[in-house]
């Protein structure tokens, strides 16, 4: 293989109770990237569209990953990249993760598919570190594995792919404001009460049980975040209104995607998802803030080759 | 039905990462209780063997539950109870829970089986409160539902029964020292770091995923408690030695049962369980402390009628 084009999905990390542990990939939006083998060694970004990102191969989340992989196996060829961002950086939907995970996946294809998904996740985490300062795994793992993932451990890295009930739908709204991951981290408490921690892990247990048993009621009951959401929601204008309108329209639950500002809602079935979409859209129209929205299935397969 | 005899199992609560949320029932030890309908209203304890417990019907964990249930439905009969304790109060194996849960189950049978398990759990929690001061659900729910249970929420009470891989075995050692639940609570931190909390709920997620998928490796990797065990293990003489010898002998993991002093280990299969039993027994022989041990399957059915 000398060339491929891929789709790298946007991802929702944290997922209410699963702060820093859970993530899932969406189907509707993501990046498109191409990878071309070159005789000349090294990595080069030849085109970036859809967002204003650096072409510096040591600073771009995608090219750093490709460079590291080529170097690791001492490849006798190089790779040229193009990146079309299908959604905005800073949305809380794993923009740098899509680029980094897509880069790991694409380079691996040109290398003859020599790395398993866990290793691709580690390479992609390196790209996350370059882009965001922290080698967070939840978004990149969700993009690479697809579906819901649990980051069970960082040392050693252990990723558990969880099942996804087939009727699960995502509705998301991205208010057009910027929240830096660093600022979203800064509002988090360093310590939490043992009581809140117990509540949170009981809900993680409930959510995961619900995913294994297609129990939408249990998923709904468990989509509660008593740790990050109370601290972070003040950074997101009209968060409470969006969440209330989503739940009033039938959503199983709603929360902050990653570190925001995107707010996601999970729903059972297309009909409810459309109602939730309409209701959230209506509630945000009255604000002065621009926004984008989408409805999506949960992406089951992760990054895919599109030609 | 005018009479029944039941077996109410001992239970392991907390289960490493699942502090205050997870529990499971064991097969090998528990209480035997009899329930006899009487024309005279009210509840009476006619015999207690195996432990020195109060006959005062308003202070005994079993009779308070029966009394509350009879009163709730305005029953036109009474119940006489006998209790044979098959294991020691203060062991950390849910002694008061077995009595309280057994009482709820037995009284319900004489009442014509009118209450579902969730309601029985609530009645049993009342007995826990009388006996221990706190209406903790994890032990009583494990005794009533059997298998592994997750207490997803207290308000409203929601109990999730989790699957149990068939080869799972429990080895437990009960050093003959007393730890009061109150003291075990007092050593717990009121606050924990967000980092530790994330570690804990990622492991809860891993353990529950492992139970759903028969993944013993994942169960093993997830049996980590960075919250309660570090604080409580100092109350249990030779905890580290027992845990190390259990794991060296092949246990999937080991931890404190409830608030101790019993230490449990989970193992895959009878052969490993026997090795772990022998190894732990050998390690404790050298101490000056008396101890009891057992090997057990995980009890799948909860409380059962034995004649």
Instruction: Report pLDDT for A46.
Output: 98
Q: What is the pLDDT of residues A146-175, one digit of tens each?
A: 999 999 999 999 999 999 999 999 999 999
pLDDT tens track for B192-241: 999 999 999 999 999 999 999 999 999 999 999 999 999 999 999 999 99
Q: Is A187 on the interface with B (CB under 8 A)?
A: no
What's the confidence (pLDDT) of residue A75? 97
Q: Where are the alpha helices (DSSP H) in B223-263?
A: 228-232, 239-248
Give the domains, in start order, of chain B with CATH numbers: 3-162 (3.30.230.10), 168-297 (3.30.70.890)
Q: Region A280-300: what's the mean pLDDT?
A: 95
Strand partners, A3: A36
Tell me what pLDDT residue B242 has.
Answer: 97
In the structure, what pLDDT confidence band is assigned to residue B254 with cuts at 50, 70 and 90?
Answer: very high
pTM over 0.90: yes
**Tokens in use for B193?**
């770091």
Contact A205 B19 (CB under 8 A): no
**Are the CB atoms for A201 and B17 separated by under 8 Å?**
yes
Longest distance between any two alpha carbons in chain A, whole Å: 59
Note which residues in 144-173 of chain A have CB less than 8 A from chain B: 150-153, 158, 160, 162
Q: Can you tell me the distance from the alpha carbon of B87 to that of B29, in angstroms, rounded to the nearest whole number?
A: 7
pLDDT at residue A307, rounded to an integer: 77
Q: In chain B, what percentage of residues exceed pLDDT 70?
A: 100
B136 touches chain A (CB under 8 A): no
Chain A: give the shortest CA distance to residue B226, in Å.
Answer: 12
pLDDT at position A132 is: 84
Is the confidence at residue A181, as pLDDT, over 80? no
Q: Does A204 touch chain B (CB under 8 A)?
A: yes
CA distance A36 to B156: 56
Question: Which chain A residues are closer than 8 Å to B227 by Cβ?
Answer: 194, 197
**In B133-190, which residue ranges form alpha helices assigned H by DSSP?**
138-145, 181-186
Are B160 and A209 within 8 A, CB to CB? yes
Whether residue A191 and residue B188 make contact (CB cut-off 8 A), yes or no, is no
The predicted-structure confidence for A196-244, as pLDDT tens digits, reads as follows 999 999 999 999 999 999 999 999 999 999 999 999 999 999 999 999 9
The verdict on A190 touching B (C-beta cutoff 8 Å) is yes
* A218 contacts B160? CB cut-off 8 A: yes
User: How sure is the predictor about A270, in pLDDT bands with cuts at 50, 70 and 90?
Assistant: very high
High-pLDDT (> 70) share of chain A, %: 100
Average pLDDT rounded to a whole number, residues B274-303: 96
Compute the nearest-CA separation of B14 from chain A (Å). 11
Alpha-carbon distances, residue B31 vs B87, B100, B298 (angstroms)? 7, 11, 16
Kindly calculate the radius of gyration of chain A based on its CA atoms and give it in whole angstroms: 19
**pLDDT higher than threshold 80 for residue A186:** yes
What is the distance between the alpha carbons of residues B198 and A17, in angstroms, rounded to a whole number?
Answer: 10
Inter-chain residue contact A218 with B20, CB threshold 8 Å: no
- Outline where B19-116 has alpha helix (H): 61-72, 95-110
A33 pLDDT higher than 90 = yes
Active site residue B241: no
Instruction: Tokens 């990054």: give the residue.
Output: A303
**B206/A162 CB distance under 8 A:** no
**pLDDT tens track for A93-107:** 999 999 999 999 999
Catalytic residues of A: 128, 181
């Amino acid at each position: 293989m000398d060339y491929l084009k891929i789709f790298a999905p946007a991802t929702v990390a944290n997922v209410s109770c699963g702060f820093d542990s859970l993530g899932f990939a969406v189907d509707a939006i993501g990046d498109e990237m191409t990878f071309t083998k070159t005789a000349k060694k090294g990595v080069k970004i030849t085109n970036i569209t859809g967002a204003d990102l650096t072409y510096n191969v040591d600073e771009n989340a995608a090219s750093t990953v490709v460079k590291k992989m080529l170097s690791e196996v001492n490849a006798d060829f190089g790779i040229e990249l193009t990146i079309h961002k299908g959604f905005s950086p800073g949305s809380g939907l794993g923009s740098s993760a899509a680029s980094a995970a897509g880069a790991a996946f694409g380079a691996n294809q040109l290398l003859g598919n020599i790395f398993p998904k866990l290793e691709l996740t580690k390479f992609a985490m390196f790209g996350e570190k370059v882009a965001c300062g922290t080698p967070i795994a939840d978004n990149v793992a969700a993009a690479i594995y697809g579906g819901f993932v649990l980051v069970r451990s960082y040392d050693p890295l252990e990723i558990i792919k969880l099942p996804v009930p087939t009727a699960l739908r995502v509705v998301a709204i991205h208010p057009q404001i910027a929240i830096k991951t660093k600022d979203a981290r800064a509002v988090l408490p360093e310590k939490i009460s043992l009581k809140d921690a117990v509540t949170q892990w009981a809900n993680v247990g409930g959510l995961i049980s619900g995913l294994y048993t297609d129990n939408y009621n249990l998923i709904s009951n468990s989509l509660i975040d008593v740790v990050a959401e109370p601290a972070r929601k003040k950074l997101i204008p009209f968060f409470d209104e969006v969440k209330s309108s989503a739940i009033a329209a039938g959503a199983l639950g709603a929360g902050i995607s990653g570190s925001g500002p995107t707010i996601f809602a999970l729903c059972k079935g297309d009909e409810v998802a459309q109602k939730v979409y309409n209701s959230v859209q209506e509630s945000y129209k009255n604000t002065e803030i621009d926004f984008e929205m989408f409805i999506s299935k949960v992406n089951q397969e992760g990054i895919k080759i599109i030609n």
